[in-house]
Amino acid sequence: MDNKSSSPWVRILVVATLITMLVDLYLIFEFAPTERAMGHVQRIFYFHVPSAWVAFLAFFIVFIGSVGYLWKRDRKYDMIAHSAAEIGVLFATLVMITGPIWGRPVWNTWWEWSPRLTLFLVLWFIYIAYMMLRSFVEGEERSARFAAVFGIVGFVDVPIVHLSIRLWRDIHPSPVIAGGDGSGLHPDMKITFFFSLFTFTLLFFWLLVQRLRLEKSTVATSELKKQIAY
């Protein structure tokens, strides 16, 4: 097995992620102005939205990995899908935790069946099911194949779920970034927000690289075990 830790690109990624994370913390807690109506709790927005973005990115990579695996039958694609799914579930969980912390003081409720919340909850369930499926199937090749099918169906389901629950009343704040009346952020907030997005994306790729290394060592270990056993 090649040792990817020595790759200069990974080192650059690690250093860049660590630096941007520190800068991001400064931006979030010092640089960004305090929101007038909501107060400090609004700062959770810089964690909440980027986490949601990373979760969506991760699930998209699960989809790409799944299609790639069924097409090329290369173990590599399955490893990518598996790793991305795990990180996606982690960040989706973070979204589900940070959301209520913000929602309790601002909406006066921990949970609301608004379309976006419901969508995320369903999304979370789909990828929890994906992880469970992986662990309940015997045989690596079969597990990869089934997971790939479910990864594809699950991802195709996302816009469908979104469409079907959008018709309900929505109390989620309308997108503040992409324009519309009464939207718009303070410029400093905007800088912080986009920097946060960038930081979380870097963090995602770093975690993905680490998770892939772990997966590769797991495969290598089981290969070695087989060689010893037989």
Partner 1 sequence: MSAVFVILWKDLLSEFRTKEMVLSMLVFSLMVAVIFNFSFPPGSEFIQQAAPGILWMTLVFASLLGMNRSFVYEVDKGCMQGLMLAPVNRTAIYLSKLLVNFIFITIVELVVLPLFSVFFKLEVLHVAGQLALIMFLGTLGFTIIGTLFSAISVNTKTREVMLPILHFPVSIPIIICSVQATTAVLQEQGWQVLWGWCKLIVVFDIIFLIVAYFTFEFIIEE
Q: Can residue 116 be called a binding residue for partner 1 (CB under 8 A)?
A: no
- Strand, coil or helix: 35: strand
The answer to whether residues 54 and 89 touch, using CB atoms and an 8 Å cutoff, is no
CA dihedral 27, 32, 37, 38 (to 10 degrees): 0
Of residues 46 and 63, the one with the C-beta less far from partner 1: 63
DSSP code, position 16 = H
Shortest reach from residue 49's CB to partner 1, in Å? 23
Q: Which of residues 164-203 bind partner 1 (CB under 8 A)?
A: 164-165, 167
- Helices 140-165 and 115-136: crossing angle, nearest 10°? 170
Site string for partner 1, 66-85 (x = CB under 8 A): ----x---------------
Query: Which residues, in sequence order, are CB contacts of 197 under 8 Å at separation 6+?
Result: 49, 50, 53
State residue 217 phi and psi, 5-degree precision: -65, -35
Stretch that binds partner 1, among 37-45, 49-57, 134-142, 181-189 (CB under 8 A): 134-142
Length of the chain: 230
Interface residue with partner 1 among 19, 97, 156, 224 (CB under 8 A) is 156
Residue closer to partner 1 (CB basis): 29 or 113: 113
For partner 1, the binding residues (CB under 8 A) are 70, 122, 125-126, 129, 132-133, 136-138, 142, 145-146, 148-150, 152-154, 156-157, 160-161, 163-165, 167
